[in-house]
Amino acid sequence: MRRLLLSWLGLVSLGFGGGLTFPETTKQLKATLEDSIVTTDFAFTNKTAKVIEIKQVQPSCSCISAGVEGGKLRYAPGESGVIRTKFDMGASTGDVEKQVAVFVDDDKETSPSATLKLDVHIPVVFNIEPKTAKWDTGSDPAPKTLTFTVEGADPIHVKQVTCSNPAFKFELKTVEDGRRYELTITPSDTKATSIGAFRIDTDCKIERHRAQQAYAVIRPPVNSDSTPKKK
């Protein structure tokens, strides 16, 4: 349903949504291992018979910066411009979707004339499965294991693992040096909700991939019924 809505918004911008025509409202991008920022441009043209003013270019999150190249906001009939976006990938990996809303003239705050979308594929260097070890409150505090697998061609060694919460004990096991590791986590008990963040320091040559994170969580049972029963 979400993809259908985005597609509809894209068609509106191409046809008559606000008057700016975008040849492309979706960009498929592939980052490299070395990339930390991905930059892409969305070209547009005013194909109406009136002047159109861009009021706001609003990214969907703080990891994206976006604006009209050159700072020009008013476009006469036939004039063209470019909206440039920059996505700071941080520690993101895998397939990531980001959006930028474009508001012109009298658009309502909730109804942009165009929605631009970035579909970014970021190579996975270090895969953690599962990312979070989970226990229900009151359950058996049995150990659970997270598996670290190096996906790239070069080996990556785990140098150190630390946890933010001493209530979770852990042990790191090397299955295949530089390629595969197991982190076994055991909570001291499961009487109350709790969370622990694990920092995995590696010798990865690429700085932004060097430190990885995993988690341990003790939570109420997912299917628990907290609604008081009638007597």
Q: Is residue 144 within 8 Å of 121, Cβ to Cβ?
A: no
Q: Is residue 115 within 8 Å of 7, Cβ to Cβ?
A: no
Q: Facing residues of 121 across strands? A: 30, 95
Q: 90: which DSSP letter?
A: T
Give the DSSP letter string of 27-70.
Answer: EEEE--TT-SEEEEEEEEEE-SSS-EEEEEEEESSTTEEEEEGG
Give the DSSP letter string of 194-211.
Answer: EEEEEEEEE--SSHHHHE
User: pLDDT over 70 for what percent of the chain?
Assistant: 89
Is domain 2-122 classified as CATH 3.20.20.10? no
Q: What is the mean pLDDT of residues 48-76?
A: 94
The reply to whether 126-219 shares the fold of 2-122 is yes
> In CATH, which superfamily holds the domain spanning 126-219?
Immunoglobulins (2.60.40.10)
Q: Could you state, in order of their start, the residue ranges of all structural domains in the chain?
A: 2-122, 126-219
| Residue 227: partners with Cβ closer than 8 Å, 6 or more residues away | none
> Confidence class of residue 91 from pLDDT cuts 50, 70 and 90?
confident
pLDDT, tens digit (0-9, with 9 covering 90-100), for 124-182: 888 999 999 999 999 999 999 999 999 888 899 999 999 999 999 999 999 999 999 99
pLDDT, tens digit (0-9, with 9 covering 90-100), for 16-39: 346 899 999 999 999 987 888 999
Give the DSSP letter string of 142-186.
Answer: --EEEEEEE-SSS---EEEEEES-TTEEEEEEEEETTTEEEEEEE
